[in-house]
């Protein structure tokens, strides 16, 4: 298959790029990827996306975006990209069924994946007390008790954010110190609602119809090791994200964490005609509305690139 514009990814960035490019008459092809609808589909309700005063179910929001992209002629394929070649024009990708797609321009909107501890209970309670996004789900824990796992800037930021809503926040840190910047550490350590549990790991979660507590271990494998249960209503992971950019590593400049580097505020990558939008190029904000906006920018840039090279 040959297309003028290939969009890889079906989160807010990918679908918004589809809406904009479709309305520009480009008829883009969009590959959905492993998680149709993107990271947002792992949460429940979205209350901070403008236009929905009562909030909207995350899956409904993404389905709406999908339909809007299709309405303007975006061809959506339920496939996964397994291989890419951005070395020569036309750019090429291969799908899991072996099909080759050639494209004059490419928008990479493959997102980032939150890291999880790998506990079976995380999957069991996903959306029922387990979350990897305090900004998305914190509001549901007003006046409740929550725990955040991690000792970096994200964990401190999420713990501080949650402390503004919850009655109590535990920060579960595996080392005897925080890795976060001094200012974030100070913010956490000086917040009377936050209690830091150093040298503590999570063994599992328990609860009947949602998280009711965590099984913890203090000083694992050392003198003074102690296992105990901590009653909590919410369990937030903040141990880092992994941008889904590995497929494009041979051609694209990435930072030390793997985020695709773009030209300042624009979505242009170091390869002409290849653009990056959404969380795969955003180590900081990681919000649906910001991803959507960057998808719009990428489509506008792609349209210009395609016209200039016709
Ligand atoms: P980091 O990699 O900086 O921190 C991850 C944290 O999670 C570490 O404390 C790490 O522990 C812990 N961790 C990792 N795996 C496990 C595990 N299996 N069990 C328990 N704990 C675990 O990620 P962040 O997302 O916090 O930050 C990413 C980057 O973004 C950083 O450069 C950060 O500075 C930046 N950032 C900046 C912000 C700001 O400036 N406001 C806000 C958010 C992020 P350990 O220390 O033991 O390895």
245 plus 232 within the same structural domain: no
The verdict on the CB of residue 174 being under 6 Å from ligand 1 is yes
pTM over 0.85: no
Structure-token pair, residue 26:
């480009």
- Domain hosting residue 209, numbered range: 120-237
Would the CA dihedral through 297, 76, 269, 39 be positive or negative?
positive
Give the per-residue pLDDT at 310: 84
**Helix, coil or strand: residue 139:** helix
Q: Reply yes or no on whether the pLDDT at 44 is more than 80.
A: no
Q: Are 40 and 11 in contact (CB under 8 A)?
A: yes
**Helix, coil or strand: residue 136:** helix
Last residue of a domain, one of 237, 264, 281: 237
pLDDT digits (tens, 9 = 90+) for 175-231: 999 999 999 999 999 999 999 999 999 999 999 999 999 999 999 999 999 999 999
Nearest to 279 by CA among 88, 32, 110: 110
Count other C-beta atoms under 10 Å from residue 60's C-beta: 12
The verdict on the CB of residue 258 being under 6 Å from ligand 1 is no
79 plus 164 within the same structural domain: no
pLDDT digits (tens, 9 = 90+) for 65-98: 999 999 999 999 999 999 999 999 999 999 999 9
- Total domains in the chain come to 2
Query: What is the rounded distance in angstroms from the CA atom of residue 183 to the CA atom of residue 195?
Result: 17
The verdict on the CB of residue 200 being under 6 Å from ligand 1 is no
Give the per-residue pLDDT at 264: 92
Would the CA dihedral through 147, 166, 161, 198 be positive or negative?
negative
Last residue of a domain, one of 188, 216, 237: 237
64 plus 138 within the same structural domain: no
Kindly list the catalytic residues: 133, 136-137
Last residue of a domain, one of 187, 215, 237: 237
Q: Reply yes or no on whether the pLDDT at 281 is more than 80.
A: yes
Element (H, E) at 91: strand 91-95
pLDDT digits (tens, 9 = 90+) for 134-147: 988 999 999 999 99
Q: If you take atom 32 of ligand 1, which residue's CA is the nearest one?
A: 153
Q: If you take atom 7 of ligand 1, which residue's CA is the nearest one?
A: 239
226 plus 251 within the same structural domain: no
Give the per-residue pLDDT at 284: 87
Give the per-residue pLDDT at 48: 87
Mean pLDDT of 110-122: 95
Q: State in Å: Cα 205 to ligand 1 middle.
A: 22
Q: Are 172 and 178 in contact (CB under 8 A)?
A: no
Q: What is the CATH number of the domain that holds 176?
A: 3.50.50.60
59 plus 31 within the same structural domain: yes
């Amino acid at each position: 298959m040959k297309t003028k514009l290939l969009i890889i990814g079906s989160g807010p960035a990918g679908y918004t790029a589809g809406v904009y490019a479709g309305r520009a008459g480009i008829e883009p092809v969009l590959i959905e990827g492993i998680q149709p609808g993107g990271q947002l589909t792992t949460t429940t309700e979205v209350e901070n996306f403008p236009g929905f005063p009562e909030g909207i179910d995350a899956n409904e929001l993404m389905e709406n975006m999908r339909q809007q992209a299709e309405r303007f002629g975006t061809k959506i394929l339920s496939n996964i990209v397994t291989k890419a070649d951005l070395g020569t024009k036309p750019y090429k990708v291969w799908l899991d069924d072996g099909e080759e797609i050639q494209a004059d321009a490419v928008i990479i909107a493959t997102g980032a994946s939150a890291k999880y501890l790998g506990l079976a209970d995380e999957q069991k309670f996903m959306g029922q007390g387990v979350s990897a996004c305090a900004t998305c789900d914190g509001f549901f824990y007003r006046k409740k008790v929550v725990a955040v796992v991690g000792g970096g800037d994200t964990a401190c930021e999420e713990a501080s954010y949650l402390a503004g809503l919850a009655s109590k926040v535990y920060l579960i840190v595996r080392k005897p110190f925080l890795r976060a910047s001094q200012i974030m550490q100070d913010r956490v350590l000086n917040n009377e609602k936050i209690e830091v549990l150093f040298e503590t790991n999570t063994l599992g979660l328990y609860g009947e119809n949602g998280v009711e507590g965590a099984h913890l271990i203090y000083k694992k494998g050392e003198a003074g090791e102690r296992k105990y249960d901590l009653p909590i209503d919410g369990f937030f992971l903040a141990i880092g994200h992994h941008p889904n950019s590995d497929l494009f590593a041979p051609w694209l400049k990435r930072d030390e964490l793997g985020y695709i580097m773009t030209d300042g505020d624009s979505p242009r990558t170091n390869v002409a005609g290849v653009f990056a939008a959404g969380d795969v190029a955003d180590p900081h904000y990681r919000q649906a509305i910001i991803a959507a906006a960057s998808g719009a920018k990428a489509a506008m840039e792609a349209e210009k690139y395609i016209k200039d090279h016709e």
